[in-house]
Structure 1
Amino acid sequence: MTTVSALVPAHNEEQGLADTLESLLAQTRAFDEIIVVDDCSTDRTREVALAHGVTVFTAECNQGSKARAQNYGLPYVWTDLVLPVDADTLLAPDYLELILEPFENPNVAIAAGCVMTRFEDRPTERGRSIEYLFGFHFQRPIQNAANSPVVCSGCCSAFRTDELRAFGGFPERTIVEDMDYTWSKQEEGRRAVYVGDAVAWAADPSTMTYLRKQVWRWMSGFFQNVRIHTARLARHKPVLLLWILIAIWDIVSAPLWYAMPFLAIFVFHASVLWTLTWWLGMEILLLTPPLVYAAHRRRIPYRRVFRNLPYLYVNKVVNTYYAWKALVVELILVPLRLTRGLAVYEKGRA
């Protein structure tokens, strides 16, 4: 039988760690070992972990990023598979059982499930809930059907341990190790798989400050990977490169799309009613079917989904700003050696 360990990097996570560990201990298919890497915490993270009877390793000094903290714990993993889980993420009881199924295919190197928001109390969390519903129920299944997932989410992906070690561990050359490894494995001809039935709930930024930090890290990491991987993807995985180019086009064209109503009204003198009807109609046409499907599949009240929809546009403003900033920094300034780009890892939640 395939053996599997959970690996939980944790720095000052005493408030949420207990819930995460309880979700790991409640799996219908038990983990063979649960390892917590206490990344030099100054709170009761270590005590909370020990109280749950899991294996705990404490780093002598803070590792500086999630990838480094995971690599600190990787030598202690003895199982066939390792499943890193963020210390503020919960797994559905059947998550492990479902995520193991793709590994029956020896060509699968990494698999990840569907991520949902744990909390919807703040505007940033509500906006993120819509982003996840759309992304994990529209974009991700299509990418998976094309055998080209753009990323296996780092909060809940499973890896073949020996293969990960042979790669050198979780990549530290970019600020987003999950995307780096997902692209690297597919360049090698290995498979990354999205398992839509396996559900995890992540705690997302609850304030604008943390949203900006997280989005800046995600966008910088995306373009770091574009800079590093484009040539190899063009040779070895052109379908994945196509999805990446579509994402870049979305980023580049986003300001134009949101400026179009103003251009139509003030430049081309179109009627306000016609312009808003056309623009809002296109938005509704693009968003509604995937959101209705997602709400139906996850048994979420439609009222709740559409209540959260306006907050999506707050997040979109932040996403667009930092995506453009990351594009300029990572694809122009870094190659010109005018900056190092983003190298400091900051958490997206207090």
Structure 2
Amino acid sequence: MRRTVTVIVPAHNEEEGLPATLESVLNQTLRPDEVIVVDDASTDRTGAVARSYGATVLRPPANLGSKAKAQNHALPHCTTDLILAVDADTVLAPDYLERVAPAFDDPQVAVAAGNVQTRHTRTLWERGRSTEYLFGFHWHRPIQHAAGSPMVCSGCCSVFRRTDLAAAGGFPERTIVEDMDYTWSQQIAGRRALYVSSAVAWAADPEHLTYLRKQLRRWMAGFCQNVRVHARDLILRKPILGLWVLLALLEILTAPLWWATPFVAAWTTDTPLPVALTWWTTAELLLTTPPLIYAAHRRRLPLGTVLLNLPCVYANKAVNLYYAWRGILSELLLVPLGLSRGLTVYEKGRADSGAAPDREATMAT
């Protein structure tokens, strides 16, 4: 059975990256029936570029302020069975839709997404992200999928059943990360979310620390917002997903202790610091390298390059940990106490001079 598909591409000042995205969409082996680009008050040639590829361009009268709002602006124009939401800097493998669409033969499936990898590995931060993606999408995500409870269907390339999306009121706007919110909401409601490992997309990740910080602040604050919104329902209705969330929180809380272990061991015992660091590094490698070796084989990547990128991940982890702790403090402590509104402004991680200022609304104490 052939399912009809509409592609929604939210875009704000994406003149440079949009052509590669639209080319990958138009070259799908399962051709989409319509491509809608939401030109969200761009000040560059985003709209003109989209029209040159034959896309339907919708331009709101003013900037909508978030990806979810831009996607919802296009939703009333969609009548197909499925909706593929693609970021304007993401490139899909030619068979991406062909591989994901069969997931919806199961009437219980509401959302599905594939394996995301990095498009570029030029800088320290991109190399670190490539390692994170290789590890996460070849270790964590398959385990979660096998347990029937993916943590998130990636927002840069997720496919949605349109009727479920419409029944839910569209893409969630109550949190700063709509993809995780929808993935959790649908599973709590008894619907299914699927990870399709054979479908591959490549995302353009932040190449500089400035933009990585913005992205990770949004991701970590959004994760904690979803914990706050969904915690009770996860426990009562989807406990296995709640377990993954609990493990993620425990990892955040215990990470400083793990990183400090060799120094504490050297300080409190007779173990020399170099020896303690050697044992710690060995343990890290034993935990990390097997999934990376498998991922390199699966993705047909040079193993040497993958392993050489491994040290870069610790720079990303340090930034991630800072914003994870910040998110917990703000979203799970100050917001419930009425001392903060949390992160309310959506700002894209990559360079975007037209983005709204990065701020966190805080009430006076």
Partner of 1:201: 202
Two-structure CA RMSD over aligned residues (Å): 0.7
User: 2-side partners of 1:87 and 1:109: how far apart?
Assistant: 23
- Please say if 1:166 is aligned against 2:167: yes
1:1-350 superposed matches below 5 A: 1-350=2-351
Deviation at 1:55, TM superposition (A): 1.0
- 1:54 Cα deviation after fit: 1.3
What do the CA deviations read for 1:73-121 (whole angstroms, capped 9, x no partner)? 1111110110100000000000000010110000000000000000101
CA drift of 1:271 comes to: 2.1
The answer on whether the counterparts of 2:263 and 2:273 sit within 8 Å (CA) in structure 1 is: no
Residue 273 of structure 1 deviates from its aligned partner by 4.0
Please list every run of 5 or more consecutive structure 1 residues that lacks an aligned counterpart in the other structure. Answer: none
Secondary structure of the 1:340 match is strand
CA distance in 2, matches of 1:206, 1:284: 25
Query: What's the offset of the Cα at 1:166?
Result: 1.2
Q: Percent identity?
A: 62
Q: State how far apart, in whole Å, the 2-side matches of 1:268 and 1:69 are.
A: 57
Between the aligned partners of 2:151 and 2:276, the Cα distance in structure 1 is: 34
SS at match of 1:133: helix
Question: Aligned letter for 2:219?
Answer: W
Question: What is the one-letter code of the residue matched to 2:157?
Answer: C
Task: Give, in angstroms, the shift of residue 59 of structure 1.
Answer: 1.2
SS of 1:225's partner is helix
Corresponding letter in the other structure for 1:136: F
Deviation at 1:278, TM superposition (A): 1.5
Deviation digits for residues 176-199 of structure 1, max 9, x if unmatched? 000000000000110000000000
Mapped partners of 1:14, 1:307: distance in 2: 33
- What residue in structure 1 maps to residue 362 of structure 2? none
Using the alignment, how far apart are the partners of 1:130 and 1:89 within structure 2? 18
Give, in whole Å, the separation in 2 of the partners of 1:340 and 1:221: 13
Q: Is the 8 A contact 2:186 2:193 kept in 1?
A: yes
Distance across 1 between alignment mates of 2:70 and 2:238: 30
Q: Partners in 2 of 1:35 and 1:269 — Cα distance?
A: 65
Q: How many residues align?
A: 350
Deviation for aligned residue 1:274: 2.9
Cα distance in structure 2, aligned partners of 1:75 and 1:162: 12
Deviations 1:40-87 (A, max 9, x none): 100000010000111111111100000000001111111011010000
Offset at residue 306 of structure 1 (A): 1.2
| 1:7-31 residue CA offsets vs partner (Å, 9 max, x unmatched) | 0000000000000000001111101
Matched residue type, 2:38: V
| Unpaired runs of at least 5, structure 2 | 352-365
- Return the alpha-carbon distance in structure 2 between the equivalents of residues 302 and 2 of structure 1: 38
Segment of structure 1 superposing worse, 50-59 or 268-277? 268-277
Encode CA deviations 1:197-248: one digit per residue, 9 max, x unaligned.
0000000011101111100100000000001101011110000000110001
1:277: Cα distance to partner? 2.5
| Conserved? CA contact 2:175–2:225, under 8 Å | yes
Residues 294-320 of structure 1, C-alpha deviations (whole Å, 9 max, x = no match): 000000001110111111000010011
CA distance in 2, matches of 1:341, 1:269: 45
Matches of 1:193 and 1:163 in 2, distance apart?
15
In the TM superposition, residue 2 of structure 1 has moved relative to its aligned partner by 1.3
Q: Note if contact 2:103-2:112 (Cα within 8 Å) is conserved in structure 1.
A: yes
- Does the residue aligned with 1:14 lie in a helix, a strand or coil? coil
CA distance in 2, matches of 1:181, 1:143: 16
Q: Output the CA distance in 2 between the equivalents of 1:267 and 1:55.
A: 65
